[in-house]
Structure 1
Amino acid sequence: MKLSICIPVYNFDVRELVFDLKKEIDSQNIDAEIILIDDASKEESRQTNRELQNITNRFIFLEENIGRSRIRNLFQQYADGEFFLFLDCDGKIEEKNFLKNYIQFIREHPNTQVIYGGREVLNSASDPDHYLRWKFAVERENLPVVLRNEKPYLSFQTNNFVIRKEVLERVKFNPEFQKYGYEDLLFAMDLKANYIKIDHIDNPILNNDLESNIVYLGKVEESVESLSHMLKDETLNSKLSEVKLVRIYNKLKNTSFKVILGFLFNMGEGNIKRKLFKGNVNLRYLDMYKLGLLFRKMK
């Protein structure tokens, strides 16, 4: 069984990640290839990573940015493995048997189709300016396997997962959405619609590049923008109906609360953002902010 390690790269020094993967491949004699596709990064970032051309199987540099979904589909043109392991470029390997853990699970479960290994962050935020993203990761994303298995599709993320090649050929990432936000959940729901099971295991990767509060809030706004476009398509709306934010929106969109919430959000948006910029706030403020933005975008 051959494993294709697929890493989309965008404006990030991916050398440590690749070196660690290469070290395990060589020391454990693993049948694996490493493929990088740079999504039109800045020249400084491209130059930093060019040395990896000598130790990876393929390193493709794109001249135009194609976005998070299309670039994952693109790996099918270059990868030869029976299984693809997708990793975000800002991940850090903490487990010396990281690849071996996936391979062992596949051998013990030969019918597995998709495996999500999980994610983790440091035990504390680096500083108050990075607290919001760290808190969201700890409270909402970095769930233990037992909790992820309760909602296997909603708990899926694309930062660290293995997928059988033939499954990705059947169920591709939706190429219409190039920006940040909800493309992983949409993909998970497409898997669900095709009766493809997601297995969850304890094999996390460390997210070592948490955004500042200001940058993260900008990504939140971008994600809500993406979500609003998805929800305007009735087919996609139904696929995402299990998402908490969508569920609340659908419940309130045809009620008088919609007008009231819109008014309250317009009045209090600035105050909510100031609280979120401080980082150490109850995540309900972030939920309120997302809901207010969604109602505004769906007008």
Structure 2
Amino acid sequence: MKLSICIPVYNFDVRELVLDLKKEIEDNEIDAEIILIDDASEENFKIINSNLQSEVQKFIFLENNIGRSKIRNLFLDYTKGDYLLFLDCDVKIDNTNFLLNYLNEIEKNFWVELIYGNFKIDTLYSKSLRNRYSVEREIFYEERSSDFSLFKTVNFIIKRKIFESFLFDERLRNYGYEDFVFAKLLESNQIKYFAFNNPVIHFDDTSNSAFLKKVDIGIDSLCKLSKDEKSKNFIKDIKVYDTAVKLRKIGVDSLVLFLYNFLNKIIKNNLLSENPSIKYLDIYKLNLLLKKMKAIS
């Protein structure tokens, strides 16, 4: 069984990640290849990572940014593995048996078609809004689970044949919900899945203000998905979307938007502070979505 390690690269130094993976491959004689695709990073990151061209099987540099979904689909054109292991570029390996843990799970559970490995937050950035959200809403803490809602694209392995049949939605170029829609697509087609704790360490130093801009982009993506009948079946379980639909259905969305104006400054100040509240983030996102939905209705 050949393994393809797929790392979409964008504005991050991936040298430590790649060399740690390569060391485990060589130390354990794993049949694996490492493929990097740079999604039009800034020139300084291209220079930093360019030395890796001699360390990996392929390193492709794109002239134009194609986005979070399309770049993952593109790996099918450059890989040979029976299984594809996807890792975000802004992670580091948590233990020296990271690849072996995946391979052992596949060997024991030959029926599995996708495995999600989880992630941790580096303690240096754990108090930021972005990472508090991960700790409270994205990371799972059980040893194992079959809950598809846990899935994130940061660290997962998938059978090539499955991925060839079920791709990421390439309309989702920017931040937000591409992992949720992909998971729902797989779940609706009864893909055999489980999650287990084989985490990578996520290094995300996004400031609170920068994260709020990403949230705006993500809500915009969600709003666009809501206009597509097929996508509605995938996003109906997203809490902020479900709440917004219910508020609009009973006709109180305008009232909620009006009341939010009195809380806007308090909420924004909190979210930009050193002690941000995830509950305030929920309210912030709901306000954004209601505004966008009203604008297009």
Same fold (TM over 0.5): yes
Q: Which residue does 1:215 correspond to in 2?
A: 210
Query: Distance in 2 between the 1:89 and 1:296 partners?
Result: 33
Q: Which residue does 2:131 correspond to in 1?
A: 134
Which has the larger displacement, 155-164 or 226-235? 226-235
Distance apart, 1:157 and its partner CA: 0.2
Q: Which residue does 2:119 correspond to in 1?
A: 119
Does the CA-based 8 Å contact 1:3-1:83 persist in structure 2? yes
CA displacement, residues 226-256 of structure 1 (integer Å, 9 cap, x when unaligned) = 1111111122112111121122122222113
Q: Which residue does 1:192 correspond to in 2?
A: 187
Gaps of 5+ in 1: none
Q: Which residue does 2:40 correspond to in 1?
A: 40
Q: Which residue does 1:74 correspond to in 2?
A: 74
AA aligned opposite 1:91: V
Which has the larger displacement, 163-172 or 269-278? 269-278
Does the CA-based 8 Å contact 1:39-1:67 persist in structure 2? yes
The 5 A counterparts of 1:1-299 are: 1-123=1-123, 125=125, 131-145=128-142, 149=145, 152-299=147-294
Structure-2-length-normalised TM-score: 0.95
Query: Distance in 2 between the 1:63 and 1:182 partners?
Result: 25
SS in 1 for 2:249: coil
Query: Distance in 2 between the 1:264 and 1:196 partners?
Result: 43
Q: Kindly report structure 1 stretches of 4+ aligned residues shifted beyond 6 Å.
A: none
Does the CA-based 8 Å contact 1:117-1:201 persist in structure 2? yes
Structure-1-length-normalised TM-score: 0.95
SS in 2 for 1:74: helix
CA displacement, residues 95-143 of structure 1 (integer Å, 9 cap, x when unaligned) = 11000000000000111101000011134646xxx52122112111121
Q: What is the alpha-carbon root mean square deviation over aligned residues?
A: 1.4
Does the CA-based 8 Å contact 2:69-2:173 persist in structure 1? yes
Query: Distance in 2 between the 1:113 and 1:278 partners?
Result: 42
Query: Distance in 1 between the 2:132 and 2:275 partners?
Result: 8
SS in 2 for 1:143: coil
Percent of residue pairs identical: 46
Distance apart, 1:266 and its partner CA: 3.4
Does the CA-based 8 Å contact 2:148-2:194 persist in structure 1? no
Query: Distance in 2 between the 1:112 and 1:145 partners?
Result: 19
Query: Distance in 1 between the 2:123 and 2:76 partners?
Result: 36
Query: Distance in 2 between the 1:145 and 1:180 partners?
Result: 27
AA aligned opposite 1:291: L
Does the CA-based 8 Å contact 2:17-2:93 persist in structure 1? yes
CA displacement, residues 132-172 of structure 1 (integer Å, 9 cap, x when unaligned) = 122112111121135x736x221110000001001111100
Query: Distance in 2 between the 1:240 and 1:279 partners?
Result: 31
Query: Distance in 1 between the 2:137 and 2:258 partners?
Result: 28
